[in-house]
């Protein structure tokens, strides 16, 4: 039983069944998350974790992903890490420098490849290989944090926006998020953790029902079904109005704005009519619209020109009565930007 695959609350129940109290669980998580100790022998020696518990957690050291490559963008300091799983599959993680000096957010992958087929995305072209287990998501975070700390910086946030559709790996993603947030483990503030989805309505509703405190980001792609189906094939299953309705239910239940991510593509979805359609779709739903310029490694889709983007922003200001933010998608020169992760390069 890998404690990185179990929610802290479940780990406490599991330990209680073995006559160990919550203090022991806190010591165990602290050894793993604060000091990076993955060996049962050292848990017993350094943290006074009872031998029977340590050995029933893990008779041998917990596994790690193999760090297989790291590249830093000379342009903006984004850093991409490439890991390999035990069976040799590649996945990628991105370190995002934040505005606050020395602060870094980690962009985590939740699957190897992706089945959603977004036509502008390199991960989609890998197809889907498999879900990552919670420990593989957590180990991305731990290894990224080790690198960041060695550079004298600190990790203050995590976003599930790397390879894969997080809500298709719901349980492992939520387990990983709970571990990241736990004060005994990752100690990342819930509001600094974002889970992104391309718009799976049943999972958005499940997430709302379960009352999670992490930020929710929903990728729209376009404001009409006709355009959205071209960019985000999963749109054939849920009309965009249903996706925004689910986002609205979440925003109202949580009393927090949902982020609607809008990938801007020159000549495709940044016209006056697109802004008007987006405004009608959103209405008074409490959202923040993040504009992200497309990075398509095939060159099929191009980002809008500066004039096109400014005109779109002006149109959105007229048609959408909610905050509009231009989000920087960095690391383009090292294939670390949104939509470019493919486990190569
Ligand atoms: S944009 Fe996200 S959901 Fe769409 S194919 Fe790429 S990784 Fe999957």
Predicted local confidence at residue 200, as pLDDT: 97
Say yes or no to pLDDT of 206 above 70. Answer: yes
- Same domain for 248 and 329, yes or no, is yes
Predicted local confidence at residue 57, as pLDDT: 87
Residue 341 DSSP code: -
What is the spatial distance between Cα 258 and Cα 204, in angstroms, rounded to a whole number?
11
Q: Which of 11, 33, 57 is the last residue of a domain?
A: 57
Predicted local confidence at residue 343, as pLDDT: 76
Predicted local confidence at residue 59, as pLDDT: 82
CB atoms within 10 A of CB 117: 16
Distance 5 CA to ligand 1 centre (A): 24
- Same domain for 120 and 141, yes or no, is yes
Task: Tell me the sheet residues that pair with 113.
Answer: 128
- Same domain for 50 and 154, yes or no, is no
- Same domain for 32 and 99, yes or no, is no
- Same domain for 252 and 166, yes or no, is yes
Q: Which of 18, 34, 57 is the last residue of a domain?
A: 57
Instruction: Tell me the three state secondary structure of residue 9.
Output: helix
- Tell me, yes or no, if 338 is annotated catalytic: yes
Residue 32 — pLDDT band, cuts 50, 70, 90?
very high
What mean pLDDT is predicted for residues 132-146? 97
Distance 317 CA to ligand 1 centre (A): 28
Residue 2 DSSP code: -
The per-residue pLDDT for range 262-294, each reduced to its tens digit, is 999 999 999 999 999 999 999 999 999 999 999
The percent of residues above 70 in pLDDT, for the chain, comes to 99
296 Cβ below 6 A of ligand 1: no
The per-residue pLDDT for range 162-182, each reduced to its tens digit, is 999 999 999 999 999 999 999
204 Cβ below 6 A of ligand 1: no
What is the spatial distance between Cα 48 and Cα 30, in angstroms, rounded to a whole number?
12
112 Cβ below 6 A of ligand 1: no
What is the spatial distance between Cα 284 and Cα 279, in angstroms, rounded to a whole number?
9
81 Cβ below 6 A of ligand 1: no
The percent of residues above 90 in pLDDT, for the chain, comes to 84
Q: Which of 57, 74, 98 is the last residue of a domain?
A: 57
- Same domain for 49 and 103, yes or no, is no
- Same domain for 79 and 181, yes or no, is yes
342 Cβ below 6 A of ligand 1: no
What is the spatial distance between Cα 142 and Cα 222, in angstroms, rounded to a whole number?
35
* Position 342 in a domain: no
Contacts of 298 (CB under 8 A, 6+ apart): none
The torsion of the CA quartet 29, 177, 137, 78, rounded to 10 degrees, works out to -110
Contacts of 236 (CB under 8 A, 6+ apart): 229
197 Cβ below 6 A of ligand 1: no
Predicted local confidence at residue 138, as pLDDT: 97
Average pLDDT, the chain: 94
* Position 344 in a domain: no
What mean pLDDT is predicted for residues 90-101? 94
What mean pLDDT is predicted for residues 310-332? 94
Predicted local confidence at residue 144, as pLDDT: 97
Say yes or no to pLDDT of 345 above 70. Answer: no
Predicted local confidence at residue 48, as pLDDT: 87
Ligand 1, residue 121: give the atom nearest the CA. 6
Distance 219 CA to ligand 1 centre (A): 9
What is the spatial distance between Cα 146 and Cα 154, in angstroms, rounded to a whole number?
9
32 Cβ below 6 A of ligand 1: no
Which tokens is 314 given? 């002006």
* Position 340 in a domain: no
Distances (CA, A) of 304 to 75, 262, 287: 21, 13, 23
What is the spatial distance between Cα 49 and Cα 58, in angstroms, rounded to a whole number?
12
Ligand 1, residue 114: give the atom nearest the CA. 8
- The residue written with tokens 């060159």 in the block is 299
What are the b/e assignments for 126-141, b being 16+ CB within 10 Å?
bebbebbbbbbbbbbb
* Given 107, 114, 264, 338, the catalytic residue: 338
Distance 116 CA to ligand 1 centre (A): 6
- Same domain for 41 and 104, yes or no, is no
Predicted local confidence at residue 46, as pLDDT: 86
- Tell me, yes or no, if 121 is annotated catalytic: no
- Candidates 67, 158, 142, 146; CA nearest to 104 is 158
Mutating to test ligand 1, I would choose from 108, 113, 114 the residue with most ligand atoms within 8 A of its C-beta, which is: 114
- Same domain for 52 and 166, yes or no, is no
Residue 344 — pLDDT band, cuts 50, 70, 90?
low
- Candidates 196, 305, 331, 312; CA nearest to 261 is 196
Q: Which of 46-55, 97-106, 299-308 has the lowest mean pLDDT?
A: 46-55
* Position 343 in a domain: no
- Same domain for 37 and 166, yes or no, is no
What mean pLDDT is predicted for residues 309-319? 96
**Domain carrying residue 326:** 66-334
Atom 7 of ligand 1, nearest CA residue: 164
Distance 341 CA to ligand 1 centre (A): 10
Distance 50 CA to ligand 1 centre (A): 44
Predicted local confidence at residue 1, as pLDDT: 85
What mean pLDDT is predicted for residues 212-235? 94
Predicted local confidence at residue 234, as pLDDT: 87
**Number of domains, the chain:** 2
- Same domain for 249 and 104, yes or no, is yes
* Position 341 in a domain: no
* Position 85 in a domain: yes
* Given 12, 20, 92, 264, the catalytic residue: 92
- Same domain for 245 and 227, yes or no, is yes
What mean pLDDT is predicted for residues 195-209? 97
Q: Residue 7: is it exposed, middle or buried by C-beta count within 10 angstroms (0-12/13-18/19+)?
A: middle
Mutating to test ligand 1, I would choose from 107, 116, 265 the residue with most ligand atoms within 8 A of its C-beta, which is: 116
What is the spatial distance between Cα 55 and Cα 39, in angstroms, rounded to a whole number?
10
The predicted model scores a pTM of 0.96
The per-residue pLDDT for range 34-59, each reduced to its tens digit, is 889 999 899 998 888 998 888 888 88
The per-residue pLDDT for range 68-85, each reduced to its tens digit, is 999 999 999 999 999 999
Q: Identify the CATH number of the domain in which residue 143 sits.
A: 3.20.20.70
121 Cβ below 6 A of ligand 1: yes
Say yes or no to pLDDT of 92 above 90. Answer: yes
* Position 271 in a domain: yes
* Position 187 in a domain: yes
Atom 3 of ligand 1, nearest CA residue: 165
Predicted local confidence at residue 236, as pLDDT: 86
């Amino acid at each position: 039983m890998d404690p990185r695959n179990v929610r802290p609350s479940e780990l406490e129940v599991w330990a209680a069944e073995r006559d160990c109290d919550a203090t022991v669980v806190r010591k165990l998580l602290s050894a793993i998350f604060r000091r990076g100790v993955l060996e049962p022998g050292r848990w017993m020696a350094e943290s006074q974790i009872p031998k029977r518990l340590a050995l029933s957690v893990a008779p041998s050291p917990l596994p790690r992903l193999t760090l297989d490559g790291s590249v830093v963008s000379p342009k903006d300091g984004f850093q991409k890490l490439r890991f390999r799983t035990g069976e040799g599959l590649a996945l990628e993680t991105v370190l995002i420098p934040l505005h606050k000096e020395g602060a870094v957010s980690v962009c985590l992958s939740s699957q190897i490849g992706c089945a959603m087929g977004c036509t502008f995305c390199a991960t989609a072209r890998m197809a889907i290989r498999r879900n990552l287990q919670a420990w593989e998501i957590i180990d991305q975070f731990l290894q990224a944090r080790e690198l960041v700390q060695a550079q004298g910086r600190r990790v203050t946030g995590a976003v599930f926006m790397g390879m894969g559709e997080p809500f298709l790996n719901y349980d492992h993603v939520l387990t990983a998020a709970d571990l990241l947030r736990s004060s005994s483990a990752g100690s990342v503030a819930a509001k600094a953790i974002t889970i992104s989805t391309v718009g799976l309505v049943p999972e958005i509703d499940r997430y709302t029902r379960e009352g999670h405190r992490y930020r929710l980001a929903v990728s729209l792609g376009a404001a009409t079904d006709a355009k959205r189906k071209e960019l985000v094939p999963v749109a054939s299953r849920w009309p965009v109005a249903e996706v925004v309705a689910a986002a609205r239910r979440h925003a109202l239940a949580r009393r927090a704005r949902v982020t609607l991510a809008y990938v801007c593509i020159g000549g495709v979805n940044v016209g006056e009519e697109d802004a008007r359609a987006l405004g009608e779709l959103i209405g008074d739903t409490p959202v923040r619209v993040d504009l992200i310029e497309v990075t398509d490694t095939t060159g099929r889709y191009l980002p809008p020109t500066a004039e096109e983007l400014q005109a779109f922003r002006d149109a959105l200001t007229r048609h959408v009565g909610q905050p509009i933010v231009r989000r920087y998608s960095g690391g383009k020169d090292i294939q670390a930007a949104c939509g470019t992760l493919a486990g190569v390069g």
